[in-house]
Structure 1
Amino acid sequence: MPRRSSTSDAGSGERRRGKLRYGWTTGACAQAAAAAAFEALISGRFPDPVTIELPRGRRPAFPLAARELGDGWARACVRKDAGDDPDVTHGALICATVRWRDQAATGTFFRAGPGVGTVTLPGLPVPVGEPAINPAPRRMIRAELARVGARHGLVYDPELGPPLVVELSVPGGEELAKRTWNPRLGIVGGISILGTTGVVVPYSCSAWIASIRQAVDVAMRQGLDHLAAATGDVSARAAQKRHHLPQLAVVDMGDFVQATLRHIARRKPRHLTLAGGFGKFSKLAAGALDLHSSRSQVDRSFLASLARERGADARLVRSIEQANSALEVLERCRASGVAIGTAVAERALEVARRELDAELSLDVLVVDRAGRIVGEAATP
């Protein structure tokens, strides 16, 4: 069944211009859960729904999915609604347990509970050993807790927050994390608490692009100067095997070639390998830097022209122009001895080269569905 939408700025998500619903980040959910728990710790009552203040003036309200009040502590949970975005954490419980710190303590201290990861490698926005709770959610939670305190006459610096221990947990978060980038980034034990605005924009792809950037940064902080960016698992394994790379050096860029290249250009590793399937990289070769099927298509006329340059006869050229898929083009060229994979690799290299610093060396691997390299090219 499709999820029900809401026309108000509420915790169940919000419809965007009559089309797709916005959702809420794990950071916003953690903010709401912490605010409800702190209110109960002070007053003995849980607000339900709990309203929070996000950047850009949004004030969503979140219904509570669970609550518990004990001696000197309170716990509240909200269920994450990612709106119409395909998010692995959609439906997850985001829980916050709050306790007072020692009287002499200053500010809010964060702790990773079950299902929230811990950082083990440098290069991420928080230091090694810290809970995987990004800086923006930490700031938003501290400020929200200060606002809760202010309603009860308790004055706290919104940058530091009240003297509390806030433990965030996500039941089942360790399993969810296996479907994210966290294991590769050295985040162990669960998911990350993320978000800069608190809002998930459907299909914005911002989370994936942010993960690409983090993966590059972590790899380089480990001293790796040869990175590989691949469009999927098959091409990633081909690149790793060809260059004997550790897994940490291989970045899953998906369809986001331009975002990947621009970040790598800023970080300047010594060498970059781009690896992708024949269909995906035929689009890159034609100049597309976003390879998603909704934003770029395989151009059979372009492939026919490449085949002609490689010696294809008129009959093969016509069959390429009429082919049903990129796979069919590859198979017909392979049967005729036409090195279409190499032609695609060389053109893809030229396109990628324009996005990168000239000092960075580059090679391109084009693979078939079985992971065989069917074309490659490299800078001199």
Structure 2
Amino acid sequence: MAEPAAGAGAGAGARASGGGREAQLKHTGLRPGWTTGACATAAATAAYTALLTGDFPDPVTITLPKGQTPSFALAVESRTGATATAGIVKDAGDDPDVTHGALVRATVRLLPAGSGVVFRAGPGVGTVTRPGLPLEVGEPAINPVPRQMMRDHVALVAARHGGTGDAEITVSIDDGEEIARSTWNPRLGILGGLSVLGTTGIVVPYSCSAWIDSIRRGVDVARAAGRTHVAGCTGSTSEKTVVSVYGLPEDALLDMGDFAGAVLKYVRRHPVERLTVCGGFAKLSKLAAGHLDLHSARSQVDKGFLAELARTGGADAALVAEIAAANTGLAALRLCEAAGVPLGDLVATAARDEALTVLRGAPVAVDVICVDRAGVVVGRSGVA
């Protein structure tokens, strides 16, 4: 679900007034960027303005939901009769966004008075094919906030230049169908291209908001499909394991990555009957120890915690000391396997209990599966 041009485009030319973007830069040391929704809004605003006035504003300035007023340089502009197209190169700032550098186009066509604003998916923008998303099946994958931004800006331009505010907006993204293959869109049932995303218009570097939003949409799609058992997996290896164990379909699999907390908190608010958490032993040992973000930059394997778990499972003092001094979590696991101490099961059970704590009594049965790097199951909890 992550959000992609030519030349300098908006990547070099987009600027925000009021110091909002510059303030973020000073605070984080990273350069924020713009969502596909902001780029599509700017492109639609420029194209509609050209239809009413004969000229494309370049740069074109829009107002974001929180009041920032960025200006975008146009990379593409063309007009034929009652149709105009403008294009903006997406600049995601310092975020590792797969759509950074993509050319986002909006083609606007005038409609008869009373038609309102109609949205279409052009090449590279997907179409919704499954229920559970905030858009109806068959709709172009242009999310509600970007739609409202475009409606608002069409209305402003119409009021300023004497238009009716009735227009068809077709959004397209160059190479969007190919880029979408590296996003969650196919699994969520968004086919044919990318989603036009954004709630604030601004991409905050490394906020991981797109990934977490994809987790939430994955839960929504699974629930809408009637799935009663879903699995949060840390990666492709754990996905394969959980499919082999439970035979779950693709739309019941949540690409959790390091965001265990995001899965648990959303399932707490939107329960399913059963949740399996499956991942690498070391990562899930962090969940067992109370960490909800499993990324190595934000949490570490606690060998002292593993040593204490092993002690409760029958490890003698010498083994406990060896575990506490082990180089890695996997090394600690191997020591316990050699001694017949079920550290994998103990970690899985502790991780399940931590998950239940986060779920706060939500009606969700939970189990945990720990795997090694080859996908071999090295620990399982019971279902609780």
Normalised by the length of structure 1, the TM-score is 0.93
Change (3 A) 1:90 1:326: same
State yes or no: 1:98 paired with 2:105: no
Tell me, yes or no, if the aligned pair for 1:5 and 1:21 is still in contact at 8 Å.
Answer: no
Distance 2:311 2:134 in 1: 49
Change (3 A) 1:6 1:117: closer
Q: Which of 67, 74, 79 in structure 1 is aligned with 2:77? A: 67
State yes or no: 1:366 paired with 2:370: yes
Does the residue aligned with 1:379 lie in a helix, a strand or coil?
coil
Q: Which of 342, 345, 354 in structure 2 is aligned with 1:342? A: 345
State yes or no: 1:9 paired with 2:12: no
Distance 2:244 2:270 in 1: 24
1:284 corresponding residue in structure 2: 287
Structure 2 counterpart of 1:106, which letter?
A: S
Tell me, yes or no, if the aligned pair for 2:14 and 2:73 is still in contact at 8 Å.
Answer: no
Tell me, yes or no, if the aligned pair for 1:37 and 1:96 is still in contact at 8 Å.
Answer: yes
Does the residue aligned with 2:78 lie in a helix, a strand or coil?
strand
Tell me, yes or no, if the aligned pair for 2:13 and 2:71 is still in contact at 8 Å.
Answer: no
Q: Which of 119, 122, 135 in structure 2 is aligned with 1:110? A: 119
Runs of 4+ off more than 6 Å: 4-7
Distance 1:70 1:315 in 2: 81
State yes or no: 1:20 paired with 2:30: yes
Structure 2 counterpart of 1:361, which letter?
A: A
Q: Which of 312, 315, 339 in structure 2 is aligned with 1:312? A: 315
1:145 corresponding residue in structure 2: 154
Tell me, yes or no, if the aligned pair for 1:6 and 1:14 is still in contact at 8 Å.
Answer: no
State yes or no: 1:231 paired with 2:231: no
Distance 1:44 1:149 in 2: 14
State yes or no: 1:78 paired with 2:108: no
Following superposition, the deviation at residue 264 of structure 1 comes to 0.9
Q: How does 1:1-380 map to 2 (within 5 A)?
A: 9=16, 14-15=21-22, 16-18=24-26, 19-101=29-111, 103-154=112-163, 162-356=165-359, 357=361, 359-380=363-384
Distance 1:378 1:175 in 2: 41
Distance 1:132 1:17 in 2: 30
Following superposition, the deviation at residue 105 of structure 1 comes to 4.0
Does the residue aligned with 1:99 lie in a helix, a strand or coil?
strand
Following superposition, the deviation at residue 183 of structure 1 comes to 0.3
Distance 1:105 1:7 in 2: 34
Distance 1:112 1:8 in 2: 27
Following superposition, the deviation at residue 171 of structure 1 comes to 0.9
Could you list the runs of 5+ residues in structure 2 that have no partner in the other structure? 1-10
Change (3 A) 1:7 1:116: closer
Between Structure 1 and Structure 2, how many residues are aligned? Answer: 368
Tell me, yes or no, if the aligned pair for 1:343 and 1:375 is still in contact at 8 Å.
Answer: yes
Deviations 1:5-25 (A, max 9, x none): 999527xx9442421111111
2:4 corresponding residue in structure 1: none
Tell me, yes or no, if the aligned pair for 1:100 and 1:163 is still in contact at 8 Å.
Answer: yes
Following superposition, the deviation at residue 365 of structure 1 comes to 0.5
1:159 corresponding residue in structure 2: none
Tell me, yes or no, if the aligned pair for 1:231 and 1:255 is still in contact at 8 Å.
Answer: yes
Following superposition, the deviation at residue 294 of structure 1 comes to 1.9
Deviations 1:161-208 (A, max 9, x none): x21110000010001111111000000000000111111111112111
Following superposition, the deviation at residue 333 of structure 1 comes to 2.2
Does the residue aligned with 1:94 lie in a helix, a strand or coil?
strand
Distance 1:191 1:281 in 2: 32
Following superposition, the deviation at residue 373 of structure 1 comes to 0.9
Following superposition, the deviation at residue 335 of structure 1 comes to 2.7
Distance 1:338 1:175 in 2: 48
Distance 1:274 1:117 in 2: 30
Normalised by the length of structure 2, the TM-score is 0.92
Tell me, yes or no, if the aligned pair for 2:47 and 2:107 is still in contact at 8 Å.
Answer: yes
Following superposition, the deviation at residue 326 of structure 1 comes to 1.7
Cα RMSD between the aligned structures?
A: 1.8
User: Equivalent pairs: percent with the same residue?
Assistant: 55
- Single out whichever of 350-359 and 280-289 deviates more from structure 2: 350-359
